[in-house]
Chains A and B, each alone.
Chain A
Amino acid sequence: MALNTLEFDCKAEAASVRLAAPVHYGVVGSGDLEVILEPCDLGGGVKVKVTTPISGFDAVWRKVVETFVNRARLADVAIDINDNNASPAVVSMRLQQALAETAA
């Protein structure tokens, strides 16, 4: 299975939420993904790396992650996603759950 890597940066409008420690959430099962969120000095920005078997959905990936980053007002975080054909709904849910894990 050929994997595609997609990398991009984004910045939340009122970025103020920083992570205290790295978090890992989810498993790369079929239709699922794992998310790693790591604190990282990025001048308030967010760095994203997605590894996925899917191609042609770059704009959707970007939109899903940007929406998450904006809603959570994340700053200085590296997001690493290892995907195995998860739907955007699942991606969005796992990101949310990963973040909830850091708060717990």
Chain B
Amino acid sequence: MKAERQWNTLERDTAQRMEAAARFIGPGKQVKVEDVVPLLEAVVRPGDKVNVEGNNQKQADFLAEALCKVDPAKIHDLHMVQSSVPLAAHLDVFEKGIAKKLDFAFGGPQSGRVAKFIREGKLELGAIHTYLELFGRYCLDLTPRVSLICAYEADREGNLYTGFNTEDTPVIVEATKFRKGIVIAQVNKIVDKLPRVDIPADWIDAVVQSPKPFFIEPLFTRDPGLVTERHILLAMMCLKGIYGEYGVKRINHGIGFLTSAIELLLPTYGEELGLKGKTCTQMVLNPHPTMIPAIESGWVEAIYCFGGELGMEDYVRARSDVFFTGPDGSLRSNRALAQTAGHYALDMFIGSTLQIDQYGNSSTATANRVAGFGGAPNMGCDAKGRRHSTDSWLKCGREVPSMNELIGDMPRGKRLVVQGMETFGEGRAPAFVDRLDAWKLAENAKLDLPPVMIYGDDVTHLVTEEGIAYLNRCANLDTRMAAIRAVAGYTEIGLRAKPEETKRLRDDGIVKTPEDLGIDPDTATRDRLAARNMRDLVDWSGGLYNPPARFRNW
């Protein structure tokens, strides 16, 4: 005899919750602002996995604050599963005893509190993920029961427009709704007709027009006025010794000033080197304002975006050959797809780090902040599932002397993963250290592993003011460590470099100084930048770029 079993308990449970919530939900699934807290108390149950949409940029801030106001006697022990926790409210739910466990990808401004709460036993940490890893788990073992999301507009039926900043919304809604979860959206405005439908109404259970527009951070805006001669020197070395040397076409740039400097040098130094059309033709990037001069000079064929960037709306709309835009003309950004492109379809990732150890492992974690790395690790690694080839990928792989030790004579390429930084960072903190602060953090926050952004075996090139270390050309760990020392400058690690060893590495083409590359550091000056201030960027854009107020410094 087969035992009777109900096969739709999730569905029945959801129906029950929605019945309890029915009196707060009006026509068009609309909920009044004052009914949001009781609505949450009706649909959320103790122990639920709950997602509060917290992206790199846009935030479901009103719903995050509403969740803090539920009665902890009714709702407690929630397991928060969400990309980022940048808002105070994201941590307040732990302070108040509403939530207990956290699985996330990026801490931002709250990362100090995350570490503190772990130590105090207020927060149990599941894991610090990369975006794709967390999205993957939304579809397996971390599926949200209730998701509180964020969109620009809803129409009278409850369809949503996520527009310029779509970011994580599609993946959250898809994972939640198709496993019978409940999706509640905050929108800036309810309108008669949406510019386009990004999320259909039948995937949404309730919509509230937030009292004020959602919080959004211009994370990717770098003022060219702050690019220093050091950034320019490093950028020149990268362009000549890496971009040009390998002819890398498909690239992701991190958000630091080094990559801004590279972007601003493309139409000047890049043209001088004859690299136009040979490098940076396809990119996975947010709409960085510092890309405007290169785009206007015809360098870039296509850019796919993780998210939007404040002030770039009109520019992107007017450049639909380059950016992915919807039938309404506004940018489509989708973090899950951008991360997929970043993981599989890029030939190079280039970014900076706070610390790198003597083996080449790097991390931005400090002893008392559980920050996480967002998407960097998906791009800062060799995608083992990649099967298509490009010239730069093949060249980088060919140069790895130890490749045959694992796969015999089988040819295989390698993603270029470049870490560029000055040997001493802010406040003269050495970038090269014997042991990453990540180890101390692991101890302080009781983590299983020190949080590593990029593992040493994935880093192929290291760039400092001393030169480029071509780590992919090193036969073994000893040689890698010598090459790292050779570019570590006056840090303790750098002071251990032996002149004769460095000379041998230079002779072998494993280390190249600016001199070896034919670059005179005295020529690394700001007049090389295609735009020297925010105003120049606006001019390059023909007035289409509209910088946020705090960047309007002219």
List the interface of chain A (C-beta within 8 A of B). Answer: 31, 54, 57, 60, 63-64, 85, 87-90, 92-93, 96-97, 100
Interface of A is mostly: helix
Measured between beta carbons, the chain B residues less than 8 angstroms from A57 are 428
Measured between beta carbons, the chain A residues less than 8 angstroms from B168 are none
Determine which of B228, B424, B495, B522 lies in contact with A63 in the assembled complex, contact meaning CB atoms within 8 Å: B495
B 462-503 contacts with A by CB, 8 A? 464-465, 489-490, 495
Minimum CB–CB distance from B433 to chain A (whole Å) comes to: 14
B 415-463 contacts with A by CB, 8 A? 422-425, 427-428
Q: Known contacts A64-B490, A96-B521: does B428 contact A89 (CB below 8 Å)?
A: no
Interface of B is mostly: mixed
Find out whether the CB atom of B522 lies under 8 angstroms from the CB atom of A100.
Answer: yes
Q: At the interface, yes or no: B229 with Cβ under 8 Å from chain A? A: yes
B 387-439 contacts with A by CB, 8 A? 422-425, 427-428
Find out whether the CB atom of A88 lies under 8 angstroms from the CB atom of B521.
Answer: no
Find out whether the CB atom of A88 lies under 8 angstroms from the CB atom of B495.
Answer: no
* A25–B428 CA distance with the chains assembled, in angstroms: 22
Measured between beta carbons, the chain A residues less than 8 angstroms from B522 are 96-97, 100
B 498-545 contacts with A by CB, 8 A? 521-522
* A64–B522 CA distance with the chains assembled, in angstroms: 18
Q: Known contacts A85-B428, A87-B422, A88-B423: does B229 contact A93 (CB below 8 Å)?
A: yes
6 smallest beta-carbon distances between A and B, as pairs: A89-B465, A87-B424, A88-B490, A60-B490, A89-B422, A63-B490
Minimum CB–CB distance from B296 to chain A (whole Å) comes to: 31
Q: At the interface, yes or no: B230 with Cβ under 8 Å from chain A? A: yes
Chain A residue at minimum C-beta to C-beta distance from B424: A87
Measured between beta carbons, the chain A residues less than 8 angstroms from B228 are 31
Chain B residue at minimum C-beta to C-beta distance from A100: B522
Measured between beta carbons, the chain B residues less than 8 angstroms from A100 are 522
Measured between beta carbons, the chain A residues less than 8 angstroms from B495 are 63
Minimum CB–CB distance from A64 to chain B (whole Å) comes to: 6
* A11–B463 CA distance with the chains assembled, in angstroms: 31
Residue total for B at the interface (Cβ-Cβ under 8 A):
16
Measured between beta carbons, the chain B residues less than 8 angstroms from A92 are 465, 490
Number of A-B contacts (CB under 8 A): 38
* A88–B522 CA distance with the chains assembled, in angstroms: 16
Find out whether the CB atom of A87 lies under 8 angstroms from the CB atom of B428.
Answer: yes
Find out whether the CB atom of B422 lies under 8 angstroms from the CB atom of A54.
Answer: no
Minimum CB–CB distance from B199 to chain A (whole Å) comes to: 46
Measured between beta carbons, the chain A residues less than 8 angstroms from B427 are 85
Find out whether the CB atom of B229 lies under 8 angstroms from the CB atom of A88.
Answer: no
Determine which of A31, A89, A96 lies in contact with B489 in the assembled complex, contact meaning CB atoms within 8 Å: A89
Chain B residue at minimum C-beta to C-beta distance from A94: B229
Measured between beta carbons, the chain A residues less than 8 angstroms from B230 are 87, 89-90, 93
* A57–B490 CA distance with the chains assembled, in angstroms: 11
Measured between beta carbons, the chain A residues less than 8 angstroms from B465 are 89, 92-93
Query: What are 19 A-B interface contacts by the 8 Å CB criterion?
Result: A31-B228, A54-B428, A60-B490, A63-B490, A87-B422, A87-B423, A87-B425, A87-B428, A88-B423, A88-B424, A89-B230, A89-B422, A89-B464, A92-B465, A93-B230, A93-B465, A93-B521, A96-B522, A97-B522
* A60–B495 CA distance with the chains assembled, in angstroms: 9
* A85–B425 CA distance with the chains assembled, in angstroms: 11
Measured between beta carbons, the chain B residues less than 8 angstroms from A90 are 230
* A83–B483 CA distance with the chains assembled, in angstroms: 31
For B228, B423, B428, the residue with the greatest tally of chain A CB atoms inside 10 Å of its CB is B428
Measured between beta carbons, the chain B residues less than 8 angstroms from A64 are 490
* A64–B490 CA distance with the chains assembled, in angstroms: 7
| Given A85-B428, A88-B428; 10 other pairs, CB 8 A cutoff | A57-B428, A63-B490, A64-B490, A87-B424, A88-B424, A88-B490, A89-B464, A90-B230, A96-B521, A97-B522
Chain A residue at minimum C-beta to C-beta distance from B429: A87
Measured between beta carbons, the chain A residues less than 8 angstroms from B423 are 87-89
* A61–B294 CA distance with the chains assembled, in angstroms: 39
Measured between beta carbons, the chain A residues less than 8 angstroms from B428 are 54, 57, 85, 87-88
* A35–B522 CA distance with the chains assembled, in angstroms: 16
* A57–B522 CA distance with the chains assembled, in angstroms: 26
* A65–B234 CA distance with the chains assembled, in angstroms: 22
For A87, A92, A96, the residue with the greatest tally of chain B CB atoms inside 10 Å of its CB is A87
Measured between beta carbons, the chain B residues less than 8 angstroms from A60 are 490
* A92–B496 CA distance with the chains assembled, in angstroms: 18
* A101–B229 CA distance with the chains assembled, in angstroms: 17
* A96–B464 CA distance with the chains assembled, in angstroms: 17
Measured between beta carbons, the chain A residues less than 8 angstroms from B521 are 93, 96
Measured between beta carbons, the chain B residues less than 8 angstroms from A31 are 228
* A64–B495 CA distance with the chains assembled, in angstroms: 11
Minimum CB–CB distance from A104 to chain B (whole Å) comes to: 11
Chain B residue at minimum C-beta to C-beta distance from A91: B490
For B229, B489, B490, B495, the residue with the greatest tally of chain A CB atoms inside 10 Å of its CB is B490
* A75–B465 CA distance with the chains assembled, in angstroms: 27
